[in-house]
Amino acid sequence: MHRLRVLARQAGASPGLAGAGSLGRRGSSSGQGDLRFSTVAEARAVSGKSRRKILTLQSMNPQVKAVEYAVRGPIVLKAGEIERELQNGIKKPFSEVIKANIGDAHAMGQQPITFLRQVVALCTYPDLLDNPNFPKDAKTRAMRILQGCGGYSLGSYSASQGVNCIREDVASYIERRDGGVPADPDNIYLTTGASDGIASILKILVSGWGKSRSGVMIPIPQYPLYSAAISELDAIQVNYYLDEENCWALDVGELRRALNQAREYCNPNVLCIINPGNPTGQVQSRRCIEDVIHFAWEENLFLLADEVYQDNVYAEDCQFHSFKKVLYEMGPEYSSNVELASFHSTSKGYMGECGYRGGYMEVVNLHPEIKEQLVKMLSVRLCPPVSGQAAMDVVVNPPGPEEESYEQFIREKNTVLSSLAKKAKLTEELFNQVPGLQCNPLQGAMYAFPRIFLPPRAIAAAKDLGMAADMFYCMRLLEETGICVVPGSGFGQKEGTYHFRMTILPPADKLKVLLEKVNAFHLRFLDEHA
């Protein structure tokens, strides 16, 4: 009926469009269209043949097509399939899928930090400010945040750069963290998770064509946000390799090799560092950071320091040093010249609030005109989620020793971090008990990235299936045990080596069982492909 009405209408005038004739040329061309429609459409309706799509793999943005993101890639889709099969009663050698592919703490049973949730709940529903069950310090925090929001509401847009008082709290946090090195709220940009900040600053940094196209130096193995963002921006990915033999240390000689080689085909202008490392878990020494900063200074590279695991340091001989702090301690030639952006987030650390998409970026020595450009670019998306900004505020402004919630806060924080430290040790120990598995110490972050030595027959079998050998291994692990980990090929690795990344987030008892299952699988796999 409706189609008939359309056909009938198309033959006549459109009263709704009367008076618009001056703008277009409706007359004959529109008439032609109608004619074509009433024949082609009728014909198709009869034949049932579907038209060619406009948006296809062939016509889509090739830069987006080139993007890969293994952390939620094919293996995770397969894990979802298996989960649905289990729900439908299909029998498997296991009863549940364990998603050790992603650093998603709460999904693994970690409890939220009470104080953080209290503050965000108070901000969400301010009637609770009268509720006697909420502690006073949480209420004070909430009121401070709400006073920074338009109409005292989390529902208002914030400034594009983030709520002012939260940026002030971030700056104070950084000063405390860095032993007094000054931080300016004007240099703080609240972001939608760290990913958003990293992608934003990369976007502004990329330019040029052909041999002058921007090159972005990233560690291998890397967190695949970097390679994905570089693909999307059509920039040139420049790999520098971390030294697995040396606990994934970063070597400036290797940086120099990579840089010199890249200069033959692009214009490398950005150096990305992940510290503590993801997926590799190493914690950089102060000396190494100095070397990197000096290198960036010397070679005119913009530094990106991804420091989202700054609270996740477990090895007793390791300590987190921020790039910002080391930069300032190296003296004015560095601290007033080296351009740096560093990143933090609510998602990792002891809070694990991934879902809030809270984060911040601090910039150092950014040209004032570029700061304007950055704000302009961010303003198009209006602002980061304000509830995520509120969560970020609690992370940088937790209860002090004199406050009511302090004891509980510290207890909860230490419980998470000490458990992670134990699990880091356990994971290293158990993986290294098995021949053909070799795992560096997990100094920090929340992943193991063991090397797997695969027998030639397994490599050949994978090749026959058109699969990366470690993908083959991980798929088999998933199918036989329900454990979902990400193949090393998704992060990058030296040619001829194989790895996987596994989070250490499951509760300790569950993690132990899980590690034993991986080990048992590994031995079976070796046996089968011997």
Tell me which residues in 129-188 interact with its own copies (CB under 8 A): 131, 149-151, 153-158, 160
Residue 83 interacting with its own copies (CB under 8 A): no
Number of residues this chain uses to bind its own copies (CB under 8 A): 147
**Which residues from 206-235 bind its own copies, rule CB under 8 A?**
206-207, 224-225, 228-229, 232
Among 79, 98, 170, 199, binds its own copies (CB under 8 A): 199
Encoding tokens for residue 142?
């909430």
Residue 329 interacting with its own copies (CB under 8 A): yes
| Closest to 7 (Cα-Cα) out of 27, 36, 29 | 36
- Minimum CB separation of residue 47 from its own copies in Å reads 11
Residue partners of 320: CB distance under 8 A and separation at least 6? 275, 276, 283, 307, 310, 311, 313, 444
Among 301, 395, 396, 502, binds its own copies (CB under 8 A): 301
| Closest to 397 (Cα-Cα) out of 105, 119, 112 | 119
Contacts 24+ apart (CB under 8 A), 460-468: 461/529
Residue 465 interacting with its own copies (CB under 8 A): no
Residue 39 interacting with its own copies (CB under 8 A): no
- Minimum CB separation of residue 351 from its own copies in Å reads 8
Residue 319 interacting with its own copies (CB under 8 A): no
Cβ distance to its own copies smaller for residue 386 or 502: 386
Q: How many residues does the chain have?
A: 530
Residue 455 interacting with its own copies (CB under 8 A): no
Q: Please list the residues that pair with 303 across neighbouring strands.
A: 271, 340
**CA dihedral of residues 380, 381, 383, 389 (deg, nearest 10):** -150
Residue 11 interacting with its own copies (CB under 8 A): no
Residue in the block written with tokens 């009511």: 404
328 backbone dihedrals φ, ψ, rounded to 5°:
-70, -35
Residue 318 interacting with its own copies (CB under 8 A): no
Alpha helices in 158-262 (DSSP H): 164-177, 193-205, 225-233, 252-262
CA dist 178 to 305, 325, 327, 407, Å?
15, 5, 11, 24
Cβ distance to its own copies smaller for residue 367 or 524: 367
Residue 411 interacting with its own copies (CB under 8 A): no
- Candidate segments 311-319, 380-388, 407-415, 455-463, binder of its own copies by CB under 8 A: 380-388
Residue 417 interacting with its own copies (CB under 8 A): no
Q: How far apart are CA 119 and CA 356, in angstroms?
A: 14
- Minimum CB separation of residue 429 from its own copies in Å reads 23
- Candidate segments 176-184, 347-355, 438-446, 472-480, binder of its own copies by CB under 8 A: 347-355
Among 12, 19, 401, 496, binds its own copies (CB under 8 A): 19
211 backbone dihedrals φ, ψ, rounded to 5°:
-70, -15
- Candidate segments 83-91, 309-317, 349-357, 458-466, binder of its own copies by CB under 8 A: 349-357
Burial 354-386 (b: 16+ CB within 10 A, else e): bebbbbbbbbbbbeeeeeeebeeebeeeebbbb
- Minimum CB separation of residue 144 from its own copies in Å reads 16
Residue 86 interacting with its own copies (CB under 8 A): no
Among 239, 318, 385, 413, binds its own copies (CB under 8 A): 385
Cβ distance to its own copies smaller for residue 21 or 435: 21
Cβ distance to its own copies smaller for residue 72 or 463: 72
- Candidate segments 383-391, 446-454, 458-466, 472-480, binder of its own copies by CB under 8 A: 383-391
- Candidate segments 253-261, 436-444, 448-456, 512-520, binder of its own copies by CB under 8 A: 253-261
First to last CA, the chain: 69
HEC secondary structure over 374-438: HHHHHHCCCCCCHHHHHHHHHHHCCCCCCCCCHHHHHHHHHHHHHHHHHHHHHHHHHHCCCCCEE
